[in-house]
């Protein structure tokens, strides 16, 4: 089983490097969205500091959503997804590997870039670790929940809009907790509660989302 996981993981990396656009588009989108806000509202540090947490989190959410529409699309089009469904190996484990790769390519990169954009939006230095921690705990939930929607819409020709309608309401608790942690850090309040809630959501998503993704793929492939 470990050999299957490793083969799937290396396959995903090879496919990602063959399609660099899918690799870098979410990161470029993340950078552009955040860079537009100072141009729109002005370079006042106080104003930028107030809206920084919300801007960074919304940009990360939209960048993740942008990359999810094609998560299973290429596998569906070339027939690989049908082989996954018919395989004797657990489908939930196989899709978990794919989502983990998606998070490493997209989510982890957003986490690493977030302190730089936090500084650009005038966030205090003491808040930047909290910003990175909130994204580190929250972006896996974004990838896992988004993968459920991507699995349900994999067989639709224009599933991007439906994917957004399905998934965006589920992202609201993560968005509230992530921005709340940063705001609490800015006010000098403890952020342990926010971090624990985000960690609980991550563990819950890791436990339940792969099963839901596998069920969604079976429905999508059978149609």
CA distance 58 to 34: 9
Number of compact structural domains in the chain = 1
For 18-36, the pLDDT digits (tens) are 776 677 888 899 999 998 8
Q: What is the pTM of this model?
A: 0.90
CA distance between the termini of the chain:
29
Cβ contact 165:132 at 8 Å: no
Q: What's the distance, CA 61 to chain centroid?
A: 7
For 125-142, the pLDDT digits (tens) are 899 999 999 999 999 999
Transcribe 137-160 into DSSP letters. HHHHHHHHHHHHHHHHTTT-TTHH
CB atoms within 10 A of CB 68: 28
**Element spanning 13, H or E:** helix 2-18
As a whole number, mean pLDDT of residues 63-90 equals 81
Identify the domain containing residue 120 by its residue range. Answer: 2-222
| pLDDT for the residue numbered 127 | 93
More confident residue, 137 or 88: 137
């Amino acid at each position: 089983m470990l050999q299957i996981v490793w083969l799937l993981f290396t396959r995903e990396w090879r496919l990602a490097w063959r399609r660099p656009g899918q690799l870098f588009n979410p990161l470029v989108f993340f950078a552009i969205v955040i860079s537009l806000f100072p141009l729109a509202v002005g370079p006042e540090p106080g104003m930028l500091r107030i809206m920084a947490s919300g801007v960074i989190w919304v940009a990360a959410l939209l960048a993740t959503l942008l990359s999810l529409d094609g998560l299973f699309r290429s596998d569906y089009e070339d027939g690989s997804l049908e082989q996954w469904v018919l395989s004797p190996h657990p489908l939930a484990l196989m899709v978990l590997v794919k989502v983990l790769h998606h998070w490493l390519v997209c989510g982890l990169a957003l986490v690493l870039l977030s302190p730089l954009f936090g500084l650009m939006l005038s966030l205090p230095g003491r808040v930047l670790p909290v910003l990175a921690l909130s994204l580190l705990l929250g972006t896996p939930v974004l990838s896992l929940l988004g993968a459920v929607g991507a699995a349900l819409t994999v067989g639709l020709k224009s599933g991007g809009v439906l994917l957004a309608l399905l998934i965006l309401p589920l992202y609201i608790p993560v968005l509230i907790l992530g921005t709340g942690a940063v705001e609490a850090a800015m006010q000098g309040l403890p952020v342990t509660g926010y971090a624990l809630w985000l960690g609980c959501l991550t563990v819950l998503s890791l436990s339940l989302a792969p099963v839901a993704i596998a069920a969604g793929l079976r429905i999508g492939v059978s149609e």
